[in-house]
């Protein structure tokens, strides 16, 4: 069956995940920082100041663009696998 669920896009999902990770007791900060790169790249590509834009959006949590949930899940899974692969090869 096809999952028709949607999530907020334009980096909102990544910001939400990073805020959750930053608030976690063990603070998974490296992964939260990596997730923050998505909205920062979008801001930079749009001609905005990435750090300032991320700060403002985190404070407001603006949600106005949608993406499919399955797409977002696959994106985060793929990125996590790539990072694991890079870390594995960097050990050698």
For the chain, give the percent of residues with pLDDT over 70.
Answer: 82
The model carries a pTM of 0.55
Measure Cα distances from 69 to 4, 28, 58 in Å. 8, 22, 20
pLDDT, position 92:
66
Long-range Cβ contact pairs of 11-16 (< 8 A, separation 24 or more): 11/38, 11/39, 11/42, 11/43, 11/57, 12/39, 12/57, 12/61, 12/62, 12/63, 12/65, 13/67, 13/72, 14/38, 14/39, 15/39, 15/54, 15/57, 15/58, 15/61, 16/61
pLDDT surpasses 70 at 67: no
CATH code for the part of the protein at 6-90 = 1.10.560.10
pLDDT tens-digit readout, 29-52: 777 888 888 888 888 988 989 889
């Amino acid at each position: 069956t096809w999952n028709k669920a949607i999530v907020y896009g334009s980096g909102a999902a990544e910001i939400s995940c990073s805020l959750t990770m930053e608030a976690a007791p063990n603070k998974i900060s490296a992964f939260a920082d990596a997730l923050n790169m998505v909205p920062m790249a979008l801001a930079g590509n749009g001609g905005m100041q990435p750090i300032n834009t991320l700060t403002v959006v985190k404070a407001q949590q603006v949600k106005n663009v949608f993406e499919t949930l399955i797409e977002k899940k696959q994106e985060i899974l793929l990125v996590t696998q790539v990072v694991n692969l890079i870390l594995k090869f960097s050990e050698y």
